[in-house]
Structure 1
């Protein structure tokens, strides 16, 4: 092994990135060059920012973030959303993960983004919180429902300190995930109900987003078993025909993390977050 070389990620790295993600996540079948091209470079919110690590011709580390337009404490902002991170199994335990996150966070601040947001699992949450200074905002709620939960979206948006600002272009892009195409299954007066495949057989993934300002719409109704993963501001959602998924039954409980660039140490109120699987590509 030679000394690792850190450098910005580039489009011509996609082939080797797919191989690395396969080593890091052997059970995940979504990673392909078409998927990463869509996720990183077709995103209409802006250019990605990421870091790779080479050992000679071998790609041994990768972390990519993409821009996400949000409403942050009532103001329009752009943040960096961490999408994929992996280190080669032969090089683990050398602090490469920590350095990847530090470098991408520095890129994010240098680009003028307001902060870094992501979703951590049980294996990484401690490092993000204790070694990298991220806020462990909250564990994502998970339930299985037959009928979509009812969200008072106007109230949710007014209360939210953090919410994705959806536009027609970003929604159209999100629906075109080549590994899991989504559809607008239904619409209400203030929301669009979006569905796709989940990791559970015969159970869909379902999420609701604000309808305001969007011209895209759905037809029909959303009914049937679906898993819902995310956060809603306190008192704005009412579940119907639903069952909470206990953390002990989840393959990997997920937690929202946040690093504030504008206010060092700035924290988000976990009871004022509007966040769903549509925001971080859980499936």
Structure 2
């Protein structure tokens, strides 16, 4: 069967059909609204979404989107892409559409000067990214729960970060305007609500001089903090945080990386800084 493959557009009609496909593919999620996709795909100050759609006789049947952002990679700031929304209509699953869309999206990204793709894959999607699309599995994100400040190792013990997402005032304002989440910003932390009423998630710590104006959500009853990410400067032995046993997690979250340059770059787990703010969990 012949399918038509076209780059993603962000006009109203295109977003409407993407939202409809995402809602059919993920009926248990309530975040895939027009406002959410417009925010993700069109309003990002680092650039509009990159990716491809597949059509059957004019009907959208599969979709793969990548979000532009800036990061420091091996001491150089460059534009990269976060692997984001993947959806295939239930009637068309098992036909290899995801791999086809991904390969076309990465070629388009190379042509447009993007240096890499990074993503967080669960147990179901990790195999396809690693073995079909040649992603590197950097390692599993840590998940800890506790309270209070995060204690840091002494400077001489800190690891060098070869990967770190770079946030500007504009990109941070945009990120925290996510219409599907509520946030609280303090001097030291950015928190998000979670689905557990007594737990809030730490998205980012000590974000410096960023200016931000948004109605804050009341979180006084949320006494415990959830931390997800990779940060080798944290002294977990001195912090009041404990690792969540893997058997209690919904799924392992694997950080994956694909170099789009000719240099075949690889990242080491102990040289990566990755916060919950850096992807779309909250």
Give the match's secondary structure for 1:105.
helix
Shift of 1:216: 4.7
Match of 1:162 in 2: 163
SS at structure 1 position matched to 2:151: strand
- CA distance in structure 1 between the partners assigned to 2:114 and 2:196 by the alignment: 35
Any stretches of 5+ residues in structure 1 without a counterpart?
A: 188-192
Instruction: Please give the residue correspondences for 1:189-208 in structure 2 after superposition, counting only pairs within 5 Å.
Output: 193-208=189-204
Change beyond 3 A, Cα 1:9–1:155: farther
Map 1:93-112 → 2, pairs under 5 A: 93-112=94-113
What is the TM-score with the length of structure 2 in the denominator?
0.89
* Aligned position for 1:82: 83
What is the RMSD of the two structures over their aligned residues, measured on CA atoms?
Answer: 2.5
Give yes or no for contact 1:66–1:83 (8 Å, CA) kept in 2: yes
Comparing both structures, which one devotes a greater share of its residues to strand? 1
1:109-124 matches, cutoff 5 A: 109-124=110-125
2:5 and 2:152 mapped to 1: Cα distance? 44
* Pairs within 5 Å for 1:1-283: 3-11=2-10, 12-151=13-152, 159-187=160-188, 193-209=189-205, 211-212=207-208, 214-216=210-212, 224-233=223-232, 236-239=233-236, 240-283=239-282
Residue 62 of structure 1 and its aligned partner are, at CA, apart by 0.7
> Contact 2:143 / 2:243 at 8 angstroms: preserved in 1?
yes
Deviation at 1:151, TM superposition (A): 4.3
TM-score where L is the length of structure 1: 0.89
Distance across 2 between alignment mates of 1:92 and 1:34: 27
For residues 155-203 of structure 1, what are the alpha-carbon distances to aligned partners after superposition, in whole Å with 9 as ceiling and x for unaligned? 899711110111111111111110003231332xxxxx11111232321
Number of aligned residue pairs: give it.
Answer: 274
Are residues 162 and 217 of structure 1, via their aligned partners in 2, closer, same or farther at CA, if it must alter by over 3 Å?
farther
CA distance 1:122–1:163, change in 2 (3 Å): same
Q: 1:147 to 1:210 in 2, by over 3 A?
A: closer
Rounded to whole Å, the distance in 2 between the matches of 1:158 and 1:71 is 15
Higher mean Cα deviation, 160-169 or 210-219? Answer: 210-219
The answer to whether the 8 Å contact 2:40/2:49 transfers is no
The residue number in structure 2 matching 1:190 is none
The runs of 5 or more residues in structure 2 that have no matched partner are none
